[in-house]
Structure 1
Amino acid sequence: MSDKILVFYGSYRSDRMGVRLADYVVAGLKARGAEAELVDAKAVDLPMLDRMYKEYPKGTAPAAMEALAQKIIGADAFVFITGEYNWGPQPGLKNLTDHFLEEWFWRPAAIASYSAGRFSGVRSGTAWHSILSEMGMVVVSSTLAVGPISQTLDDQAQPVGAPGQSLDKSFGRFADDLAWWTEAARAQRARRAPPY
């Protein structure tokens, strides 16, 4: 059984560099046999949060929100690709995730951060750990931290130079960690229904 993994990316900027990391992660997971799909917050284009998915009467949520809710419900695991804005998470990605709650429960999540500088978005990644835990996900301990993004992945999301080699080396453990927790969570949900 292939793991169904949604990879979330949230930059709304016109010259987005982080999409390189999102594409790299999707390709890497697919190469390992997962059914990985990129969910681009800018493309989904949910409005600023007014009403969560669960607050709409059944069948009345906006079409984009309903479609994404069904993808989240059907997924085995999640990866969040996060850039860093002033030491914090990107507002587009945070807004997208906040539209949902119970849909995230009882599945593992992994975090890959990036920045244009040498800190590689780790402060945002740290913030995301708490956010995702609060939203009912089990956050795996392995992370990816990429920076400077433009010196690590080219415009085709291919690793370049020593930073790209380092990313390739780190990706195996990151993907293995996520795969282990994905299998464990799926087996446990099959064995016993979550308590809430």
Structure 2
Amino acid sequence: MTVPVLLGSVRRDRQGIRAARLIVQALEARGHEAPLVDPMELHLPLLDRMYKEHPAGEAPEPLERLATLYRRADGFMIVSGEYNNGIPPALKNLLDYFLEEYFWRPSGIVCYSAGQFGGVRAAMQLRMTLAELGMPSIPSLLPIPRIQQALGEDGVATDERTGKSAARFLDEFTWYARALRHQRAGGVPY
């Protein structure tokens, strides 16, 4: 399967890259393609025009590349920190460039924070946004509290709990992604 991993932070000392690396490595270990979509590398401006609002073939190159990737996707992994109890602005901006490309594909939410709650307050808001975009999130979350201690710079879990939680979360996500891929192959409601 193809599962883009959308990272939601452009902060200089961001910790979310650790969680993104964990998920990319875990998906690839299962034989899936897991390209990292990093807004820090894309340098997308604040949303002025969605991808679909550009004349055919005239969207900026990063948007064309993302649209091609997203159309191949079987699902999406969203890696989100929690900024003032909400979704990071870079993630919201990244998500809002597209719509139809997300339809009928599940999303998994990996949330994190430096504190004990692991970003779950942002995840609750993110669930609403992802559903509206047509890629509803699976029931489980993968919260990573105290990310600076739970994961190394390379994305490797420093404790057994995080690794086991990630494996169960990915088992569930894979089930949903396969089920929806099967249903999409037979057509969608409209």
Q: TM-score when scaled to structure 1?
A: 0.94
Distance in 1 of aligned mates of 2:183 and 2:119: 33
| 2:78 pairs with 1:84 | no
Residue matched to 2:97: 99
Q: 1:188 aligns with which of 178, 183, 189?
A: 183
- 1:172 CA displacement: 1.6
* Counterpart amino acid of residue 172 in structure 1: A
1:76 partner amino acid: D
What's the secondary structure of 2:118's corresponding residue?
Answer: coil
Is 1:113 matched with 2:111?
yes
Distance 1:184 1:72 in 2: 18
Q: Match of 1:25? A: 23
Matches within 5 A, 1:1-196: 3-160=1-158, 164-191=159-186, 193-196=187-190
Contiguous gaps of at least 5 residues in structure 2: none
| Greater strand proportion | 1
The one-letter code sitting in structure 1 at the alignment partner of 2:66 is L
**Would you say the 8 A contact 1:82–1:114 is kept in 2?**
yes
The alignment covers a number of residue pairs equal to 190
Q: How far apart, CA to CA, are the structure 2 residues paired with 1:176 and 1:156?
A: 22
Give yes or no for contact 1:4–1:77 (8 Å, CA) kept in 2. yes
Secondary structure (helix, strand or coil) at the match of 1:24 reads helix
Aligned partners of 1:175 and 1:158: how far apart in 2? 16
Q: Is the 8 A contact 2:82 2:88 kept in 1?
A: yes
3-state SS, counterpart of residue 170 of structure 1: helix
Q: Give the Cα separation in 1 of the matches to 2:179 and 2:155.
A: 30
1:138 Cα deviation (Å)? Answer: 2.7
Whether the aligned pair in 1 keeps the contact of 2:20 and 2:36 (CA below 8 Å) is yes
Q: What TM-score do the two structures reach when normalised by structure 2?
A: 0.97
Runs of 4+ in 1 over 3 A off after TM superposition: none
RMSD: 0.9
Deviation by residue 1:3-22 (Cα, 9 ceiling, x = unmatched): 10000002111111110000
Name the CA distance, whole Å, in 2 between partners of 1:74 and 1:155.
Answer: 29
